[in-house]
A and B are shown apart, each in its own frame.
Chain A
Amino acid sequence: MKKYSETHEWLEIKDGVAYVGISRHAAQELGEIVFVQLPETGAAVSAGQPACEIESVKAVAEVNSPVDGTVTAVNTALEDAPELLSEDGDAWIFAVEPSSAAAGLMTEEEYKEFLG
Chain B
Amino acid sequence: MAKKTALYDKHIALGGKMVEFAGYALPVQYVGIIEEHRAVRNAAGLFDVSHMGEFLFKGKDAERALNFLLTNDIRGMRDGQGRYSIMPNESGGAVDDVIVGRESAEKFWVVVNAANREKDAAWVRAHLPEGDVAFFDLSDDIAQLALQGPQSETVLRRVMKEKDIPAKYYTFARDVQLGGHTVTVARTGYTGEDGFEVYCLNAIAGKVYDIIERAAREAGVEMLPCGLGARDTLRLEAGMPLYGHELAEDIPVDETGLGFAVKRGKEDFVGKAAIVAHTPEFCRVGARVRDRGIVREHCDIYCGNELVGQSTSGTFSPTLGCGIAMLRVRRDFADRSLEADVRGRRVALATVPLPFYTRPDKEK
Bound-state CA distance A65–B306 (Å) is: 35
- In Å, the complex CA distance between A32 and B229 comes to 12
Please state if B32 and A35 are interface contacts (CB–CB under 8 Å): no
Instruction: Tell me, in angstroms, the Cα distance from A60 to B323 when the chains sit together.
Output: 13
A104 and B98 alpha carbons, distance in the complex (Å): 54
Binary CB contact string for chain B from 22 to 56 against chain A (1 if under 8 A, 0 otherwise):
00000011001110000000000000000000000
Taking a contact as CB atoms under 8 Å apart, the answer to whether A57 and B293 are in contact is no
Judge whether B33 and A35 touch: CB under 8 Å. no
- Please report B residues at the A interface, Cβ cutoff 8 Å: 28-29, 32-34, 229, 233, 292-294, 296, 315-316, 318, 323, 343, 345
> Would B293 and A31 count as touching, CB distance under 8 A?
no
Which among A31, A55, A60 is the interface contact of B29 at CB below 8 angstroms?
A31
| 8 residue pairs, one from A and one from B, having the closest CB atoms | A34-B316, A57-B33, A32-B34, A57-B316, A55-B294, A58-B229, A35-B294, A32-B32
CA distance A51 to B94 in the complex (A): 41
Nearest opposing residue in chain B for A86, CB measure: B32
Q: A31-B229, A58-B315, A60-B296 are in contact. List 15 more A-B contacts (CB 8 A).
A: A31-B32, A31-B33, A32-B32, A32-B33, A32-B34, A34-B294, A34-B316, A35-B316, A37-B293, A37-B345, A55-B294, A57-B315, A57-B316, A58-B29, A58-B33
Classify chain A: how many residues form its interface, as a range: 10 to 19
B28 contacts which of A32, A34, A58 (Cβ < 8 Å)?
Answer: A58
Measured between beta carbons, the chain B residues less than 8 angstroms from A79 are 292
**A79–B294 Cα gap in the complex (Å)?**
13
Q: Is there an interface contact between B318 and A57, defined as CB atoms closer than 8 Å?
A: yes
